Amino acid sequence: MGNVLKENKDICETSNKKTFDNSFEIISKLGEGGYGQVYKVKYIYDHKYYAIKKCQLRDLSEKDKQNVLTETTRLIKLRSNFVIQYYYSWIECNCLYFQMELCLDNLKNVLDIKKSLSNEMLMVSEYYVSYYIFYKLIQCVQYLHESDPQIIHRDLKPDNVLISMDGRIKLCDFGLAKEIVNIDLFHMSQVKYSNVVSDINYQAPESEINNDYNHLIDVYSLSLIGAEIFGFDKNDIIDGKPNCVIRMANENLPIGNTETMAQNEAIYRGHEKNE
């Protein structure tokens, strides 16, 4: 399994005990996450439903194991309504398990459904829902960037944006996240990191060209997701800023109520001060 996981005191080692098989009933497979599969399960002792991510450790390199450990550590630290709720993790039979809250859906599935609908079915109500989702997503990213230490997600995409059972927007999958220690929040400088292996469709140009970048790579990804939420062409988001998406949304109001929409503008407080 490698020393990198054995040294983490937050992960319980159960050896060959069948904790997963004996304690959880698999309801369905929810999909493939970073480095593992995600299942909807029912815990037999409290009869509640959870999401469990299962990672086969034998299939992972030491670097990938470090990323899995990073995700565990991030989830333990980030106790917030902006991040998926982490409950417990353990190792058994050379597999690492994460027990997390079960969410209703992810943003990718919502956007896929939206694309399949006709324009007549969208219009006003869908437009306001888009505003709400984008605003809440901005708050999630802002929470990471204003945390102490600051966290850069580095893999923002619709797949990693979840919708909880009570309708909250939450972030997940922190395997590529990085912490910035002892940094002035309002003067965020560039820092050298290893190459990002995030989804190229939402990747900031600077992370492809070199290893020197900062929190603004998340802001760029956020803007591209916002364009997709509103159905805009990503190529029109020329400055990579959330406010560009907001301006375009206001210019394309279904009912032309600019006063109401202006009141709902999503404002990312940090990025304008740090460009």
Q: Which residues are annotated as a binding site for ATP?
A: 54
Half-sphere exposure of 214 (CA within 13 A, CB side): 18
Q: What are phi and psi of 12, to 5 degrees?
A: -85, 130
The 8-class DSSP code of residue 123 comes to: H
Our answer to whether residue 155 is catalytic in this structure is yes
Residue 26 tokens read as 């698999």
Residues placed in the known binding site: 54
Helices first, then strands: H and E counts in the chain: 10, 13
Contacts with 67 (C-beta within 8 Å, 6 or more apart), sequence order: 34, 35, 175, 176
How far are the Cα atoms of 81, 184, 209, 214 from residue 189, in angstroms, in the given order?
Answer: 28, 8, 17, 7
- Assign 154 to helix, strand or coil: coil
Amino acid at 20: F
Q: What are phi and psi of 134, to 5 degrees?
A: -65, -40
**Choice among 10, 21, 148, 155 that is catalytic:** 155
Which residues carry out catalysis? 155
